[in-house]
């Protein structure tokens, strides 16, 4: 019985390790996602700055199109839903979703600064220039 | 003055904990002499002093004493009183003070009432409890003093995160803490028993009420936390596999396993080392949870302390307690025999399956929660979500649920599987009926299907232990088991329905237009500004009717708090017999339209109803155990008195 129990637990560890490799959602900045795009349909996260002048609302009133850039590359993003209230052009955003084969990123969820003290973790490491920009633009 | 009193009480409590540890340790080593008599009183007084200190903090928050740094940084004079008081533990220092208070009171309670264990094991237990408390007192006094003064006093407080300004907050953290700290008592019992090597039914019976109590509070805390996330975040989901949620789920999984193994130990004197091990693991999970939540390693509404020093402190405490307990386990476990044997087909056998599967799920959740931290060390950023947690935990949940259908019907020690033919056929029929219902209703999703079918089988199987019993004479403990297992089926059915049958509508509509969501018709009648004590909001005036029956008002808000400045979305919920309508107001869109996000979630409330039933089952079992112990305690005292009367 002990042997079976240990085998189940070892199996759990192996299964977890294998599933984590396949199911974990990786974080990309635009230049990375353009250079080596993830396979279409895989859940990933994309973080960068919402480019000024790129935000458009579609006719249905709930679909947003915008461009996320990091100074080196630009990725068009489509999002259907209610955007976080501090989501504005020129500020940082993390989009959760999938890359499509045509190079558009389809987001299921957007994370923006949701108060003055909170910055999505991934945006903490953006270079100084961008960080200053985020701070100055969103205050 | 109040702040200084609180701090003094805290220092005194810490010194008493040191005394309790010293006296207890000496007494266990056989060198204490009269010191042994100090241990129990020290534990009681220490608990009361901690309570005094916590009461002082609550008073400071209630009065918004802005000369105290913690109050100035976390409260605001314009906040409603209930949130001022709840704010006392809605921050790092206050929540740690709540932790030691509950821990001190629990230790005092054990010292006061428990007379079952051999005195030496009891002293070792209390010494272990003091050792754990001492670490947290040190943490508070060295790096997180809640009573630090601010000079000059602030003119106004900085406010409390609006997401936390919710009545749920007043109960959610204390509930979880009662659970965590209850597990610390189980941990102390385990360590005490390891030191004196007296692991047996007596130990299990002394530990069981604490495990049960902790488990009830954890169940309630998780249920409340899930409902809070559901209505407060406005995303329509009820569980996000967020590390913070996992931090509360992991101790629960360990406590659930412990709860079942401790009852094997109490009634059959088997699974001795395993139960002790689980006692250590369960509290380790509470500590890991606290570390993850409080270290600032994760960013969330729970991460008050974004201060690496504090994270390091908790990590060191974790290493000392858990490492120490594991070393003790390695040294002494070999001298604790495994206890009575049993065959694979028996109640014990089924409970071992339960324990192994719960441990596997615990491992899966722990791996998934820690994985992003590990990869970050290698400069790769990942997040782990439902695509990992749902299927992988299901792999171990399914066999557990199947064994759960038969387990409670098996006899202890040895049984014949053939005896269970009829009940198992009934459970199988229930599962087939559920499968048919799922397909006919047009449900989708493999996991939802599996969950729904298992829920059907479990619901039928869980009540079978009552068959052939006189319901009035059935022991409360059996009722507890039946209710809790039925609760699992109810919650599972709710989860499956939510996943399979939810309807979502995301639209932008003009005033006067209507939206159809499943069986509901929702009309937007207007959007108007409203104001609360410390916020202003846009409120949608909507009506909803279920299949053209009478209309009900639906008023979701987009709120702006001004201190601290932050926006939140207040979802509106309409609870109907068959589920909930969930409405969120978005922003204004062009053409005078408003964004609305609406969900119809059939039977979603079953999720939390199931959680409550599980906790109720625990409560019934706890009542029965405590009543039984008290009756026996009285009986024993009566025998002693009679002996004294007859002149012995």
Domains of chain A: 25-138 (2.40.50.140)
Q: DSSP assignment, residue B175?
A: H
B176, pLDDT greater than 70: yes
Examine the domain organization and report whether B103 and B136 are in the same domain: yes
pLDDT digits (tens, 9 = 90+) for B557-582: 988 887 667 778 889 999 999 999 99
- So what's the pLDDT on residue B168? 65
* Domain-embedded: residue B632: yes
A120, B396: Cβ pair inside 8 Å? no
Which residues of B fall within a CB distance of 8 Å from A44? none
Residue B442 backbone class (left: φ over 0; alpha: ψ -120 to 50; beta: rest): left
Cα B407 from chain centroid (whole Å)? 25
B164, pLDDT greater than 80: no
Between positions 248 and 307 of B, the ones with CB within 8 A of A are: 299
Q: Label residue B165 by pLDDT band (50, 70, 90).
A: low
* Domain-embedded: residue B152: yes
Work out how many domains chain B is built from and give that number.
3
Give the domain-ending residue among B117, B135, B160: B160
Q: How far is Cα A60 from Cα B595, in angstroms, rounded to an integer?
A: 10
Task: Please give the residue range of the domain that contains residue B641.
Answer: 416-500+604-648
B116, pLDDT greater than 80: no
Please tell me the least confidently modeled range out of A30-34, A116-120, B118-122, B327-331.
Answer: A116-120
B364, A16: Cβ pair inside 8 Å? yes
* Domain-embedded: residue B207: no
* Domain-embedded: residue B407: no
Give the domain-ending residue among B137, B160, B183: B160
- So what's the pLDDT on residue A116? 44
Name A101's Cβ contacts closer than 8 Å, sequence gap at least 6. A40
Q: How far is Cα B494 from Cα A101, in angstroms, rounded to an integer?
A: 36
* Domain-embedded: residue B562: yes
- So what's the pLDDT on residue A138? 37
| Average pLDDT score, chain B | 87
Percentage of residues of chain B with pLDDT beyond 70: 94
Structure tokens at B428: 């199988």
pLDDT digits (tens, 9 = 90+) for B239-260: 988 888 898 999 999 999 999 9
Percentage of residues of chain B with pLDDT beyond 90: 47
Examine the domain organization and report whether B487 and B532 are in the same domain: no
Q: How far is Cα B265 from Cα B420, in angstroms, rounded to an integer?
A: 25
- Work out how many CB contacts closer than 8 A connect A with B: 112
Give the domain-ending residue among B160, B176, B194: B160
Count Cα neighbours of B14 within 13 Å in the Cβ-side half-sphere. Answer: 17
pLDDT digits (tens, 9 = 90+) for B57-99: 999 988 888 888 888 887 777 777 888 888 888 778 888 899 8
Examine the domain organization and report whether B523 and B473 are in the same domain: no
Examine the domain organization and report whether B55 and B83 are in the same domain: yes
Residue of B nearest to A96 (CA): B383
A62, B507: Cβ pair inside 8 Å? yes
Dihedral sign computed on CA atoms, order B325, B328, B333, B334: positive
Cα B194 from chain centroid (whole Å)? 26
Examine the domain organization and report whether B144 and B34 are in the same domain: yes
Chain A: closest CA distance from residue B227 (Å): 20
Buried b (16+ CB within 10 A) or exposed e, B153-190: eeeebebbbbbbbbebbbebbbbbbbbbbbbbbbbbbb
Residue of B nearest to A139 (CA): B565
Please tell me the least confidently modeled range out of B109-113, B307-311, B349-353, B451-455.
Answer: B307-311
Q: Label residue B132 by pLDDT band (50, 70, 90).
A: very high
A61, B388: Cβ pair inside 8 Å? no
* Domain-embedded: residue B179: no
Identify which of B460, B414, B408, B399 has the alpha carbon closest to the alpha carbon of residue B433. B460
Q: Label residue B532 by pLDDT band (50, 70, 90).
A: confident
Examine the domain organization and report whether B472 and B525 are in the same domain: no
pLDDT digits (tens, 9 = 90+) for B263-274: 999 988 888 888
- So what's the pLDDT on residue B395? 94
- So what's the pLDDT on residue B129? 93
Q: Does A60 touch chain B (CB under 8 A)?
A: yes
Q: Does B240 touch chain A (CB under 8 A)?
A: no
Identify which of B289, B306, B292 has the alpha carbon closest to the alpha carbon of residue B252. B289
Dihedral sign computed on CA atoms, order A124, A126, A128, A130: negative
pLDDT digits (tens, 9 = 90+) for A54-63: 998 888 888 9
Q: How far is Cα B68 from Cα B230, in angstroms, rounded to an integer?
A: 34
**Whether ipTM exceeds 0.95:** no
Name B425's Cβ contacts closer than 8 Å, sequence gap at least 6. none
- So what's the pLDDT on residue B197? 85
Examine the domain organization and report whether B22 and B108 are in the same domain: yes
Name A58's Cβ contacts closer than 8 Å, sequence gap at least 6. A64, A65
Examine the domain organization and report whether B116 and B9 are in the same domain: yes
Q: Label residue B308 by pLDDT band (50, 70, 90).
A: low
The helix or strand, by DSSP H or E, that contains position B247, with its residue range, turns out to be helix B243-268
- So what's the pLDDT on residue A49? 87
pTM for the model stands at 0.89
Q: Order of strands, edge to edge, in the sheet holding B593-602?
A: B503-510, B593-602, B579-589, B572-576
A80, B344: Cβ pair inside 8 Å? no
* Domain-embedded: residue B579: yes
Examine the domain organization and report whether B589 and B609 are in the same domain: no
- So what's the pLDDT on residue A128? 41
Which residues of B fall within a CB distance of 8 Å from A60? 507-508
Average pLDDT over residues B443-456: 93
- So what's the pLDDT on residue B304? 43
* Domain-embedded: residue B493: yes
- Using CB atoms, pick whichever of B395, B507, B590 lies closest to residue A15: B395
A114, B161: Cβ pair inside 8 Å? no
Examine the domain organization and report whether B474 and B521 are in the same domain: no
Examine the domain organization and report whether B26 and B155 are in the same domain: yes
B363, A114: Cβ pair inside 8 Å? no
- So what's the pLDDT on residue B245? 86
CB count, 10 Å around CB of B478? 16
A116, B368: Cβ pair inside 8 Å? no
Examine the domain organization and report whether B11 and B135 are in the same domain: yes
A121, pLDDT greater than 70: no
Instruction: Identify which has the larger pLDDT, B391 or A130.
Output: B391
Identify which of B43, B50, B53 has the alpha carbon closest to the alpha carbon of residue B21. B43
């Amino acid at each position: 019985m002990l042997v079976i129990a240990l085998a189940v637990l070892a199996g759990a560890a192996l299964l977890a390790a294998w599933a984590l490799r396949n199911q974990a959602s990786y974080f990309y900045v635009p230049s990375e996602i353009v250079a080596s795009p993830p396979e279409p349909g895989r859940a990933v996260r994309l973080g960068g700055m919402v480019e000024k002048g790129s935000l458009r609302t579609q006719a249905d009133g709930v679909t947003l199109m915008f461009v996320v850039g990091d100074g080196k590359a630009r990725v068009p993003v489509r999002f259907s839903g209610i955007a976080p209230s501090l989501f504005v052009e020129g500020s940082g955003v993390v989009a959760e979703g999938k890359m499509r084969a045509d190079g558009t990123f389809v987001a299921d969820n957007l994370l923006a600064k949701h108060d003055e003290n909170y910055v999505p973790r991934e945006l903490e490491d953006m270079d100084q220039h961008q960080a200053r920009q985020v701070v100055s633009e969103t205050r | 003055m109040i702040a200084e009193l609180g701090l003094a009480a805290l220092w005194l409590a810490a010194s008493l904990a040191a005394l309790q540890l010293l006296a207890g340790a000496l007494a266990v080593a056989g060198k204490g002499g009269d010191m042994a008599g100090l241990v129990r009183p020290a534990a009681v007084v220490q608990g009361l002093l901690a309570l005094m200190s916590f009461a002082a903090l609550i008073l400071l928050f209630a009065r918004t004493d802005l000369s105290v740094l913690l109050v100035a940084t976390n409260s605001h004079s314009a906040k409603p009183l209930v949130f001022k008081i709840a704010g006392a533990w809605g921050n790092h220092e206050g929540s740690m003070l709540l932790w030691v208070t509950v821990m001190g009171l629990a230790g005092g309670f054990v010292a006061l009432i428990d007379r079952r264990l051999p005195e030496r094991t009891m002293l070792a237990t209390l010494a272990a409890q003091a050792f754990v408390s001492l670490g947290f007192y040190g943490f508070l006094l060295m790096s997180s003093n809640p009573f630090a003064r601010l000079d000059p006093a602030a003119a106004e407080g900085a406010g409390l995160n609006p997401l936390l300004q919710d009545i749920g907050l007043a109960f959610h953290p204390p509930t979880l803490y009662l659970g965590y700290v209850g597990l610390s008592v189980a941990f102390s019992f385990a360590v005490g028993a390891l030191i004196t090597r007296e692991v047996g039914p007596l130990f299990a019976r002394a530990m069981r009420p604490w495990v049960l109590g902790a488990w009830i509070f954890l169940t309630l805390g998780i249920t409340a936390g899930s409902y809070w996330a559901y209505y407060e975040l406005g995303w329509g989901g009820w569980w996000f596999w967020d590390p913070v949620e996992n931090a509360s789920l992991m101790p629960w999984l360990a406590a659930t396993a412990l709860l079942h193994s401790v009852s094997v130990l109490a009634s059959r004197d088997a699974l001795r080392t395993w139960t002790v091990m689980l006692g250590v693991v369960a509290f380790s999970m509470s500590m890991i949870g606290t570390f993850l939540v409080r270290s600032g390693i994760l960013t969330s509404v729970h991460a008050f302390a974004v201060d690496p020093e504090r994270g390091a402190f908790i990590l060191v405490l974790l290493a000392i307690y858990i490492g120490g307990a594991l070393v003790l386990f390695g040294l002494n476990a070999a001298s604790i025999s495994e206890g009575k044997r049993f065959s694979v087909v028996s109640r014990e056998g089924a409970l071992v399956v339960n324990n192994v599967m719960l441990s596997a799920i615990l491992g899966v959740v722990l791996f998934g929660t820690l994985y992003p931290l590990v990869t970050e060390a290698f400069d790769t950023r990942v997040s782990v979500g439902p695509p990992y947690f749902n299927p992988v935990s299901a792999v171990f949940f399914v066999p557990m649920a199947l064994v759960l259908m038969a387990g409670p019907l098996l006899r202890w020690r040895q049984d014949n599987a053939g005896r269970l033919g009829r009940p198992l056929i009934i459970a199988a029929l229930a599962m087939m009926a559920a499968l048919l219902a799922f397909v006919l209703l047009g449900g989708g999703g493999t996991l939802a299907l599996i969950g729904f079918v298992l829920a059907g089988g479990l619901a039928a199987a869980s009540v079978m232990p009552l068959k052939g019993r006189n319901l009035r004479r059935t022991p409360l403990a059996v009722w507890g088991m039946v209710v809790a297992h039925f609760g699992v089926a109810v919650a599972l059915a709710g989860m499956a329905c939510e996943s399979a049958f939810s309807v979502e509508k995301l639209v932008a509509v003009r005033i006067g237009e209507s939206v159809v969501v499943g069986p509901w018709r929702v009309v937007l009648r207007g959007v108007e500004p409203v104001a609360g004590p410390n916020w202003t909001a846009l409120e949608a005036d909507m009506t909803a009717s279920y299949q053209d029956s009478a209309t009900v008002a639906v008023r979701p808000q987009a709120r702006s708090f001004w201190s601290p400045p932050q926006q939140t979305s207040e979802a509106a919920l309409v609870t109907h017999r068959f589920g909930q309508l969930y409405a969120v107001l978005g922003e204004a869109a062009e053409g005078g339209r408003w964004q609305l996000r609406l969900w119809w979630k059939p039977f979603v409330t079953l999720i939390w109803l199931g959680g409550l039933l599980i906790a109720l089952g625990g409560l019934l079992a706890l009542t029965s155990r405590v009543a039984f112990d008290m009756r026996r305690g009285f009986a024993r005292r009566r025998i002693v008195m009679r002996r004294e009367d007859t002149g012995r």
